[in-house]
Amino acid sequence: MTGITIPDRFLRGIIYTIGVMTTIVLAFYTFGLLKESIIFILTVLSPFLASLLLAYILAPIVIRLQRNLKLGRIIGTLLLYVMVFMIMFLLMAFLIPKIFQELAGLFEAIKEGVPKFLSWLSENTNLKIDSEFIRNLREEIENIEIDYQKIAASILPAIQKIASGGFSAIGEATKGFFSGIGFVVSFFSFMVFVGIISFYFIVDWERIRPTINKMVPPRYRERTFDIIDKIDQAMGGFLRGQLTVAIIVGMMFAAGLFGMGFIGFPALTNYAILIGTAAGVAGFIPYLGAIIGVAPAILIILLTGGVAWSTKLITFAAVLVLFSVIQAIEGFVLQPRIIGKSAGLHPLVVILALIIGSQFGIGGLIIAVPVASIIRVLVREFYWIPIERRELGLDRDVG
């Protein structure tokens, strides 16, 4: 018995499209019915999911340390944990307080700069903007920025006191955080739990593949491990690679904006770490880091007072050049060499995965991108490649 073939390519495309759309609709409908149960399960499993993801990212580093330094697996894992804890301590003690300090300063600059900029708009006769509208808009923006400034001002001293050390300082900081102590305790308990579980995952990491090998029937092993290797290449390449690219992009923006102070625009230097960090965090989504980095820089240039427009235009051009250079380096050097084409996920796919994952709580966010990578490989292997082969065979038959 032979399968049904449709010689008309356009009709085949319509049928395939309808089938895919129907499958998607049914999937969303099923998820809607099971959403509460899925959220509960993912929430309960979130420490294990986070631990597995962390172990997946760190295990190759431990294996490399083990081989290069001739260490045992447990010693190599402990060495990596010490390095991670040192990095986290440095972040808590130096980087995070600096970020909040720059954030508070940025709120103050916006509070002072926005009214002046709006006043300039209302006084410009060529624009013909309603002055009453500008006045109301200015009042609304001032209220919003004042609220944010109070939040930043209340958080900054507490973080600085914690970073400075001392029992009395910690006691005062604790009072400031008392309303959110439950969240703080839960967060650090979660992180400790994740660290402990991921430790055992990393120690036993190389035993996972032999275990799977025993579970899969011999006739399916070659195909199964071929798919697993492709999933590992795609998911591991994206997670480790994109994190590396994000860090590099953030550092390039921080260094570039810091250098802007030497061309006569020190305001950007004052917020270089904040903007660089924001670019690095957003850089997990491909190419978004550069956009997030350039947007606040342009805003700061426009709102900074006491600077000649000629200097602003020069700095604006320098920021655009910096943005173009970083975007080019990311697109033509970092993405192909660090991540690779086979591991890359389209930015829209990453955003869609994170949006869908956020609907299922923290567990959904943790597994969103890995699941997207797995689905990409499975769809390509079991759907797209067979279609390409079938199309190629039909084309040959027609020819």
Q: What is the pLDDT of residues 210-249, one digit of tens each?
A: 888 888 888 888 888 888 888 888 888 788 888 888 888 8
Quickly state the pLDDT bin for 129 (edges 50, 70, 90).
low
Question: Is the sign of the CA dihedral 81, 369, 280, 192 positive or negative?
Answer: negative
**Range ranked top by mean pLDDT from 121-130, 146-155, 247-256:** 247-256
Is residue 109 within 8 Å of residue 300, measured between CB atoms? yes
What burial letters (b/e) apply to 165-199, b meaning 16+ CB within 10 Å?
Answer: eeeebeeebeeeeeeeeeeeeeeeeeeeebbebbb
Predicted pLDDT at 395? 55
Q: List the one residue out of 282, 264, 275, 324 whose CA is nearest residue 299.
A: 275
Predicted pLDDT at 40? 83
Euclidean distance between CA atoms 127 and 312, whole angstroms: 21
Question: Which positions ≥6 away from 134 have C-beta within 8 Å?
Answer: 118, 119, 121, 122
- Rg (C-alpha) for the chain, rounded Å, is 26
pTM (global) more than 0.85:
no
pLDDT above 60 (res 65): yes
Can you state the angle between helices 73-90 and 181-203, rounded to 10 degrees?
150
Mean pLDDT of 89-106: 77
Quickly state the pLDDT bin for 107 (edges 50, 70, 90).
confident
Predicted pLDDT at 160? 44
Predicted pLDDT at 123? 65
Predicted pLDDT at 258? 85
Predicted pLDDT at 77? 85
Question: Which positions ≥6 away from 296 have C-beta within 8 Å?
Answer: 106, 271, 274, 275, 278
Q: Which amino acid is at 346?
A: H
Within 70-95, residue ranges assigned H as helices are: 73-90
Q: Which two tokens stand for residue 132?
A: 């009453």
Quickly state the pLDDT bin for 61 (edges 50, 70, 90).
confident
- Could you report the per-residue pLDDT of 346-385, keeping only the tens digit for each? 778 888 888 888 887 777 888 888 888 888 888 888 888 8
Euclidean distance between CA atoms 161 and 174, whole angstroms: 10
Is residue 231 within 8 Å of residue 281, measured between CB atoms? no
